[in-house]
Structure 1
């Protein structure tokens, strides 16, 4: 749901009729800016991270090739439930970095 909400939030911005964000499910990247004027289309791979989860490393299969044009960013969204063990996600923080830099690392 965090990924869907992120796309909805991005589309609240006025992009001057240059395009709109769509959610790709399944697909890569998670959010894609569909545009007839911007090429290649911009994208955001969204990783919603629950800090108490055991997995802390995102995996990017064939990521060096996919990120080679440097048009896809990665957004790490750290969240916790609004209450101790239940409730809607409460965003703790967001980190946005170049997907190419993540793939190279």
Structure 2
């Protein structure tokens, strides 16, 4: 069983090496830009092929999604600000009440 274990590990290592070499490299900025341009052109052609009702519905749905995303981001910002304020008040309260009591306490 010990003789099979190293062989199996070597085979797995070779398989992993071939998988690594087989994967596609990361795209360059130019390739990403070209892909985005292609996607933009496809969406433009798709939108141009819609009827007026379809175009209106697409604008309405897109507007609703945009408002929803903006609302979510603003809620996250509001939550972060609230947490900072609560943390600051808690820290000041701790320093003012508890830390000052420990300074006045004669027993260490």
Larger radius of gyration: 2
Larger helix fraction of residues = 2
Per the normalisation by structure 1, the TM-score is 0.15
Larger strand fraction of residues = 1
Per the normalisation by structure 2, the TM-score is 0.15
Considering Cα pairs closer than 8 Å and 6+ residues apart, tell me whether 1 or 2 has the greater RCO. Answer: 1
